[in-house]
Structure 1
Amino acid sequence: MNQRRQKKFSRRLFGAIQGGDAAAVKTLLRAGVDPERADGEGTTPLYAASVNGEATIVRLLLSAGASPDTESGGIGAEGTPLCAAACWGHTETVRELLAHGADPNVREDHGTGWSPLDWAANGPHPETAALLTAAGATTCNRPT
């Protein structure tokens, strides 16, 4: 797929994610859209779906090859998909990310920030925190 078309389809992908349109996301992925291509600000599709709690879309992106631990760099959308989902207590999204290999102990900010468990506990989102703990997340230990 040429660069211009990839960019156009990538914009459509982000629109579908924001609208919670799993069918459109599936169609775009089948058409060859890169599931890891960040938008102009650096936000990744998986981060956008995770922060919005779109578990079905998260599953589609992961199945299409999105890496579960890739850190997003968008303005106001920095961090890992797992931290984004945990922050808002999106338990089903956290479950999908973990099922596809997300590391429950990867901290944001290139290893210097909060962990998913820190975010879930701070929420407070006890169900999400329990899921992360069951998946091997260590106790909350926020960096100073």
Structure 2
Amino acid sequence: MNHRQRKKLSRRLFNAIPVGDTTAVQAALRAGADPEQVDGEGTTPLYAASVQGQAEIARLLLAAGASPGIESSGLGAEGTPLCAAACWGHTETVRELLAYGADPNAREDHGTGWSPLEWADNGRHLATVAVLTAAGAVTGGRAM
């Protein structure tokens, strides 16, 4: 597949994520879209799905090989998918990411930022805090 085709598939993938079009995501992935290809700003598809709370799309991306631990670097879209989902209290998306091996204690900003648990706690997303805690998340060296 040439560069132009990859770019076109990536664009289709990114356009489908915010509107929750799982059919279009599946089609793009079947056609060869790379589930880890960043957009022009550096945002990963998994981060985009996670911050939007698109749990089913996150699952599709993860099943297609997207790594749950890769940080996005897009303008206004920096960080890990798990921190993005936790920040907004997208509990189902958090569950999907954890099921595919996301580290519940991985801090953003290459280890110097907040953890998923700190994001969820700060937003008062109690269900998300409970899921993260059950997965072994701790903050400040202690369980919440």
1:40 aligns with 2:44: no
1:113 matched residue in structure 2: 113
Residue pairs, 1:122-141, within 5 angstroms? 122-140=122-140
1:15-46 Cα distance to aligned partner (Å, 9 max, x none): 00011100100010011100000000000000
1:59-116 Cα distance to aligned partner (Å, 9 max, x none): 0000000000100000000000000000000000000000000000000000000000
After the TM superposition, which parts of structure 1 deviate over 6 Å for at least 4 consecutive aligned residues? none
Equivalent residue letter for 1:12: R
Percent same amino acid at aligned positions? 74
Q: Deviation of residue 139 (structure 1)? A: 2.7
Equivalent residue letter for 1:50: S
TM-score with structure 1 setting the length? 0.96
Unmatched tracts of structure 1, length 5 or more: none
TM-score with structure 2 setting the length? 0.96
Q: Deviation of residue 140 (structure 1)? A: 4.9
Secondary structure of 1:73's aligned partner: strand
Secondary structure of 2:69's aligned partner: coil
Residue pairs, 1:1-144, within 5 angstroms? 1-140=1-140
Equivalent residue letter for 1:132: L
Secondary structure of 1:18's aligned partner: coil
Q: 1:104–1:116: 8 Å Cα contact kept in structure 2?
A: yes
Q: 1:29–1:35: 8 Å Cα contact kept in structure 2?
A: yes
How many residues get paired?
A: 141
Q: Deviation of residue 133 (structure 1)? A: 0.5
